[in-house]
Structure 1
Amino acid sequence: MGGLAWLTPRKRSATARSVLAGEAAAEAARKTEHEHESEFPTPGDTRAAAFFDLDNTVMQGAALFHFGRGLYKRRFFRTRDLTRFAWQQACFRIAGSENPEHMEDVRSSALSIVKGHRVAELMRIGEEIYDEYMADRIWPGTRALAQAHLDAGQKVWLVTAAPVETATIIARRLGLTGALGTVAESVDGVYTGRLVGEPLHGPAKAEAVRALAAAEDLDLDRCAAYSDSANDIPMLSLVGYPYAINPDNRLRVHARENGWRLRDYRTGRKAARVGIPAAAGVGAVAGGTVALVALQRRRR
């Protein structure tokens, strides 16, 4: 606690929760990685990796909303709860960025919905929901960037506030190394309705990446990170190669001020609204090629 002594009690408590959430996410991610080690071989540069935010970076919209739709279809909750999920998704799509209060409300609703259910049951359902609502919403350009890292022999991780189980399913389906996500507490394989630490959001994402890098002996200066949201500036600032993908206005400004790379895979109209040329990154192959060239240059 000595290093946090200068903080106020409230800030110290929030920082401690972020650290706890990050360490829990890193531990869960490494456990999943080793369970599927033969499934995701990653030869090559073992000290470099790439970290991808999920919502609106890898996938259009919020994973929690799509997961909620799937649970509603299976009668996990009532129509008014789905309406709240839909409202949060509408706000997310219109604003193009995460509102912490809205996201917290969605997460609280999700925790109450899964309380008392078995982890294995939600994992099975999550596989079905991915096929129903998520598979067609992956941004091809971002997917190509992730593949470029894999082709260069680097590990690729999702880093998201979505439940780690959902994030792990998406990572596995995309052939990525694994996922860092919000860890919901479970006892004897049953959800308690509580979190371990706090949602993996903002500073907690940075703590998760830092913890994973230490455990995996990664050199963060050789790593890359990708996100659409200014909330992820702490994570992006950790690595040597930060990318703003489909950025919100705050992140776009910050990226330009700091010389970070930008890519936009949204429609021309949406890209124009945030001031980025529509042709900035619509080609998946071109995006992957740019990333691969950058990686090769770093090795020289």
Structure 2
Amino acid sequence: MSSRPRIALFDLDNTLLPIDSDYSWGEFTQTIGWTDPVVFKQRNDAFYEHYKAGTLDVHDYVRFATEAIRLRGRGEALQARERFMREVIAPAILEPAKALLDAHRQAGDRLVIVTATNEFVTRPIAQAFGVQELVAVQLATDADGWITGEIDGVPSMREGKVVRVADWLRSQGLDWGDVDTTFYSDSTNDLPLLQLVDHPVATNPDARLRVIAQQHGWRILDLFPSHP
């Protein structure tokens, strides 16, 4: 067994959660009447298809996804997020994911959630999982400290996940060679990081990632086999 410190990295959407929190937040804004149920849904669905295909323009998407938050303001947005956590996220935090995280905790590993979803949506989700370290899309803010719709720095998506995890490691006084890394992900969008870590785990993998994992002999973990 490696004597290096062990870091367990986890994608969030469709990996630790059986849903996509970003897409679900968009649906939730329709439910509470913040967005047009027809036009918003069409655009949200189109962006999601681009994400799955690996062709998403993340800057365009973040402007779209955060527009309602920005326009409603801090107070309403935070209240809506609390309701979203209760009604949508809490029922999606399932025992297999909690058990996986607990196994790594008990092994003494450091846990980090690494997600392409923005920090406004994902910070309370990471906290609900008991994970303090979150690498998410950072949102730029105005002089009042509120969201502008733009991304601050490198978005944690595709190759950007490698950049952002490297930044996080440096903030801990570490480099890739200093640590033993495991990464759990469902998506081919995460191939750059999966190919870099010591122990890639294709978790609830999409069809393309499942084939790639089989070709490379990567571990495949179906965390929610009975979940629709």
TM-score of the aligned structures, taking structure 1 as reference length: 0.64
CA contact (8 A) 2:27 2:41 kept: no
Determine the structure 2 residue equivalent to 1:248.
206
Q: Compute the displacement of 1:147 (Å).
A: 1.5
- Identify the range of structure 1 (129-138 vs 81-90) with the bigger mean alpha-carbon deviation: 81-90
- The 2-side partners of 1:194 and 1:89 are apart by 17
- Root-mean-square deviation (CA, aligned residues, Å) is 2.9
Distance 1:138 1:81 in 2: 30
Task: Give the number of the structure whose residues are more often helix, by fraction.
Answer: 1
Q: Match for 2:53 among 79, 99, 102?
A: 99
Tell me if structure 2 keeps the 8 A contact 1:62–1:89: no
Q: Does the CA-based 8 Å contact 1:47-1:217 persist in structure 2? A: no
- Is the Cα–Cα contact under 8 Å of residues 58 and 142 in structure 1 kept in the other structure? yes
Q: 1:139 to 1:252 in 2, by over 3 A?
A: farther
Stretches of structure 2 that go unaligned for 5 or more consecutive residues are: none
Mark the structure with the bigger radius of gyration. 1
CA distance in 2, matches of 1:48, 1:217: 14
Distance 1:201 1:149, change over 3 A: same
Number of aligned residues: 222
* Secondary structure of 1:224's aligned partner: strand
Query: Which residue of the partner structure matches residue 192 of structure 1?
Result: 148
User: What whole-Å deviation, never above 9, does each CA across 1:201-257 have from its counterpart, x for those lacking one?
Assistant: 100111111111121134644121100011101112222111110112222222222
Q: Percent identity?
A: 27
Match runs of 1:1-300 below 5 Å: 47-84=5-42, 87-88=45-46, 98-101=52-55, 104=58, 106-119=61-74, 122-187=77-142, 188-197=144-153, 199-218=155-174, 220=176, 221-267=179-225
Specify which structure has the higher proportion of strand. 2
> Do the aligned partners of 1:50 and 1:155 also contact (CA within 8 Å) in 2?
yes
Look up the equivalent residue of 2:197 and give its one-letter code: V
TM-score (norm 2): 0.83
The gaps in structure 1 that reach 5 residues or longer are 1-44, 271-300
